[in-house]
Amino acid sequence: MHEQIEELYTKAADFIERCYGELGLPAVQQQQRLQDIKNEIRVSGTYTHTPTELMHGAKMAWRNSNRCIGRLLWETLEVFDRRDITTADEAFDALLDHIRFATNDGDIRSTITVFPPRKQGRDPIRIWNHQLIRYAGYEVDGNVVGDSANRAMTKTCESLGWQGAHTSYDILPLIIQEDGHLPKLYKLPDGLVKEVPISHPDIPGFEALGVKWHAVPIISDMRLEIGGIDYPMAPFNGWYMGTEIGARNLADEDRYNLLPVIAKQMGLATNSNRSLWIDKALVELNIAVLHSFHQSGVTLIDHHTAAKQFKAFEKKENSAGRPVTGNWTWLIPPVSPATTHIFHKPYRNDIVTPNFFHQASPLDEE
């Protein structure tokens, strides 16, 4: 066998053994499957996952995601197998289904939709967006309106003919590209994207700031790798942990930079660091996020509960005989990290597959 082909078979066999083992499938079935895969690879240079393999492989990829604190729930992932899709139009429809299903009117369901795998080094279909739902960012005389993290994507959308309303919360369209075709732009239909207006339980005037965030984070630019097969388009979502929005998206200086605005609203003196006005504003903003999602009936987890869940995950993995890998710098929450057990122990950041990987963005090749 050719070297690459042999490497693929090794990866496939490693996956199949663990997958079938975890699913408690009989050894004869596994042996037969390995034989079939060997033949398929010999004839075609690749192999095709069964729906069961795809489903369990995607769950394992979540379980192996070292940056994710929410992995206790890896087995609950809903997997939509859309390897049948060939056109950008069909892909767009499948993505709308994903958003609708995952949002579930606020009772969020962890979901992944898997599109066709890479074949002979070519990606049959790709999405250019980092997440299915993101806000545009515009540069206006040296300042940014909206989310500055998405300036490049906003410009690309504009170059493809899109025009936003120039509010701070314009939902970006999707850009989907079939192999060998020009990318196509798709607007998300009005009313599809659930958003949460941010208010505070007892700081008056908070709601009047007009801050909001979308309900579901759906990462769409990562490559899913299962048993040596690459899925370059496999958008997935869980639900938010409050700090992602309250301590990063809305708080980072190079994102929405709201802490000075909130401190002002709270009447805090911002001329001395020693007053900890930054910390006070940060905590209140995070309270507001937790409060608002709860009020809107949208699933969200606070970082203390998330850390407890992660502890349960570690215990569960240990009893299953699987070492827990993790990226400490990502696992610790950005608010009060040392109040969680995660802060106080080391994690091995070993990369285990199946997993999700960063990949070159078509956006950068512009």
The catalytic residues are: 68, 71, 239, 244
CB of 126 to ligand ARG, least distance (A): 20
Alpha carbons within 13 A on the beta-carbon side of 121: 1
CB 61 within 8 Å of CB 356: yes
Binding segment (CB under 6 A) for ligand ARG, from list 28-36, 165-173, 189-197, 240-248: 240-248
Q: Alpha-carbon distance 212 to 196, whole Å?
A: 5
Residues 261-320 that bind ligand ARG (CB under 6 A): none
One symbol per residue from 336 to 365: x for binding ligand ARG (CB under 6 A), - otherwise; what is it? ------------------------------
Tokens 């490693």, located at residue:
14
Residue from 117, 137, 217, 333 that binds ligand ARG (CB under 6 A)?
A: 217
Residue from 249, 292, 336, 355 that binds ligand ARG (CB under 6 A)?
A: 249
Q: Alpha-carbon distance 4 to 177, whole Å?
A: 27
Binding segment (CB under 6 A) for ligand ARG, from list 43-51, 204-212, 235-243, 274-282: 235-243
CB atoms within 10 A of CB 274: 5
Binding segment (CB under 6 A) for ligand ARG, from list 100-108, 113-121, 220-228, 234-242: 234-242
CB 292 within 8 Å of CB 284: no
Binding of ligand ARG by 238 (CB under 6 A): yes
C-alpha dihedral sign at 260, 263, 264, 270: negative
Which lies closer to ligand ARG via its Cβ, residue 221 or residue 225? 221
Binding segment (CB under 6 A) for ligand ARG, from list 33-41, 225-233, 238-246, 346-354: 238-246
Exposure string over 291-330, b if 16+ CB within 10 A, otherwise e: bbbeebebbbbbbeebbebbeebbeebeeeeeebbbebee
Residue from 241, 282, 332, 342 that binds ligand ARG (CB under 6 A)?
A: 241
Q: Reduced to 3 states, what is the DSSP secondary structure of residue 257?
A: coil
Which lies closer to ligand ARG via its Cβ, residue 217 or residue 232? 217
CB 150 within 8 Å of CB 173: no
Question: What are residue 275's phi and psi, to 5 degrees?
Answer: -75, -10
The residues of the shown chain that bind ligand ARG, judged by CB under 6 A, are 217, 219, 238, 240-241, 244, 249
